[in-house]
Amino acid sequence: MIIDFKFKNYLSFADECCFTMLANKDKSHEDDLIVEGKERLSKARIIYGANASGKSSFIKAMLFVSTFIARSNTLLDKMPIGVIPFKFCDDCFNNPTEFSTTFIKDSIKYAYKFSCTKEKVIDERLDAYYTAKPTMIFNRTNTNNYEFNQDSKILNELKEHNLENKLFLVTSASWNYNKTKPVVDYLLNTIMVAINIDVLWKNCLDRIYANNEIEEYKEFCLRILNNADISISDFKMESKKVKDFGNNETIQELLRIATKGNEEVLSVVENSNIYNFITFHNVKNEENTKKYSLNLNEESFGTVQMFKYSPLLYYVFKEGRVLFIDEIDKSLHPLMVEYLVKMFYDKNINTGNAQLIANTHDTNLLNLDIFRRDDIWFTERDYESGKTEMYSLADFSPRKSENIEKAYLLGRFGAIPFIKGE
C-alpha cells in the first residue's frame, strides 16, 4: 500500500509536489479506508485540472521512478539517466530532480528517496520501520559517499559494484541483499502505471497465458463486462506468435528494419504473441435467440477500452497492487468510469486492498457520496512561470452537502481552463 509520493523539479513541477494517500481526521466513508496499524489510507484518489496543467506529469513522475528501477542495472558507465527537469528556470534545469515514496509491504513501512541529474545519482536513502522508529538501511550522499548502520561489511563490498548513474537500491538487491529486495519488488511489481495501456494490456495477457490463468481471467472479465451492462455473453482469446503469420518477405523485411537488423531483438519480436479477441452476443429475434460473433476491433471504443483494462484490473485486485492511470475516462461513459472507481471500494472484488490513483476530466466523479474530501486533488499551472501546483479539495473545507461539481466548474477550487473570447 502506498502512503505518499513526493517529487520536485520534474517536468512542470518545479516546486515539491506532496501527494498522500493518508486519510485526514474526516470520518466520512470510514468503512472505505484501509487500516494498517495506525495508518488510515484511501483506496482511491482522483486528480482534476485543466489541459496542460500537470495531471499527466504527475503520473509520468511515478512512471519514471518505476522505469529507472527497472533499467538501473542495464546502464553502462556514463550512460544518461533520462530524467527531465523543469525547463523554464535555469537554476532548476541545472539542479537535481528529487523523488521519494513511503509505502507498506508485508506489514513493514519503508521510506525510499533519491535525487539525480541526467548524468548521475546524487543522493539516495532507504529507511525501514521494523519498529515505530526508522532504521536506516543505507544513506548515499554526493554520489559516492555511503553510510551504513548495519551489515556494513557486505554493503561496503556491494557499493563497489555500483556506478554513479545507478541506484544502489537496485545494485544491492540484484546481489541478493535481503533488506533492499522487498523495496525493489514493490516498486517493480506492485506499482502499475497505465499511460500506454496497450503495452500493459499485452504484458498482462502474456502473463495470463504463461501462468495458465485464462479461465480465471475470463470469468473476471465477463463479470466486469456484465456488471457494466456490456452485452457480451462470452468471448474467446486467440494467441499467435508473430513468426507464425507466414513467411511474407515484406513482413520479414519490415521486422528487420524495425529491429535494425539486430538478430537477438528480431528473435524476441518474432516470438512475441499477438492476441485476437472474438466476442459473442446473444441477440433475440422475435421468438428466437441466436449467438453472433464480432472481432474486438468491431466493438465500440468504450468496450475495447474495458477489455484493455480487464487484465490490468485482474492482477491489480488479485495481488493488491497500486494502479496509476492517466485519463481514466478515455473513451468511457461517465457511469462506466464511476463503476471502475467503485470496484476499488467493493470488498468482494478488492480483497487485497488495491489502490487507484487516476486523473480525469469527468466531473461526474466530483461527488462526496463517492469520495472523501481528501480523495479529490487538483493540479493548477501558473502560466507566467509555467510551474504546476498540486493540492487537495480538503484544503477548502467544503460542506458535505455542497455540490462539488458545480463549485468546481464555477472556478471555486481553481484548476480549470479560462476560456477567452474573441
Three cell numbers, residue 261: 537488423
Q: Percent of the chain beyond pLDDT 70?
A: 92
Q: pLDDT at residue 171 above 90?
A: yes
Mean pLDDT of the 400-412 span? 91
Q: pLDDT at residue 84 above 90?
A: yes
pLDDT 10s digits, 255-290: 666 666 666 656 655 667 788 889 888 888 777 888
d(CA 254, CA 130): 54
> Do 70 and 81 form a contact (C-beta atoms < 8 A)?
no
Three cell numbers, residue 30: 470510514
Three cell numbers, residue 222: 465477463
Q: What are phi and psi of 245, to 5 degrees?
A: -80, 5
pLDDT value of position 184: 97
Angle between helices 263-270 and 249-258 (to 10 degrees): 120
Nearest to 63 by CA among 79, 82, 38: 82
**Contacting residues for 66 by C-beta, under 8 A, at least 6 apart:** 187, 188, 191, 193
Strand order across the beta sheet in which 135-141 lies: 17-20, 2-8, 97-105, 108-116, 121-129, 135-141, 145-147
189, 215, 270, 302 from 273: Cα distances, Å: 21, 18, 8, 24
> Do 106 and 182 form a contact (C-beta atoms < 8 A)?
yes
**Which of 3.30.160, 3.40.50, 3.30.2010, 3.30.70 would CATH assign to domain 1-190+320-422?**
3.40.50
> Do 354 and 321 form a contact (C-beta atoms < 8 A)?
yes
Greatest mean pLDDT range, 103-107, 239-243, 380-384: 103-107
Block residue for cell numbers 492476441 = 275
Residue boundaries of the structural domains of the chain: 1-190+320-422, 196-308
Q: Percent of the chain beyond pLDDT 90?
A: 66
pLDDT value of position 418: 73
Q: Are strands 39-41 and 135-141 parallel, antiparallel or unpaired?
A: unpaired
Block residue for cell numbers 475470463 = 218
Three cell numbers, residue 44: 482511491
d(CA 171, CA 184): 10
Identity (one letter) of the amino acid at 195? I
Mean pLDDT of the 285-303 span? 85
pLDDT class for 320, splitting at 50, 70, 90?
very high
Q: How many Å is the Cα radius of gyration of the chain?
A: 24
Q: pLDDT at residue 381 above 90?
A: yes
pLDDT value of position 229: 73
DSSP string, 322-369: EEEES-TTTT--HHHHHHHHHHTT-TTT-TT--EEEEE---GGG--TT
Q: pLDDT at residue 390 above 80?
A: yes
**Contacting residues for 248 by C-beta, under 8 A, at least 6 apart:** none
pLDDT 10s digits, 204-259: 999 999 999 999 999 999 988 888 777 788 888 888 776 666 566 666 666 666 66
Q: What are phi and psi of 321, to 5 degrees?
A: -90, 170
40, 62, 131, 134, 156 from 172: Cα distances, Å: 32, 22, 23, 20, 10
DSSP 3-state of 284:
strand
d(CA 245, CA 225): 30
pLDDT 10s digits, 24-78: 998 999 999 999 888 899 999 999 999 989 999 999 999 999 999 999 999 889 8
N-terminal to C-terminal alpha carbon distance within the chain = 49
Range of weakest confidence among 40-54, 131-145, 191-205, 349-363: 191-205
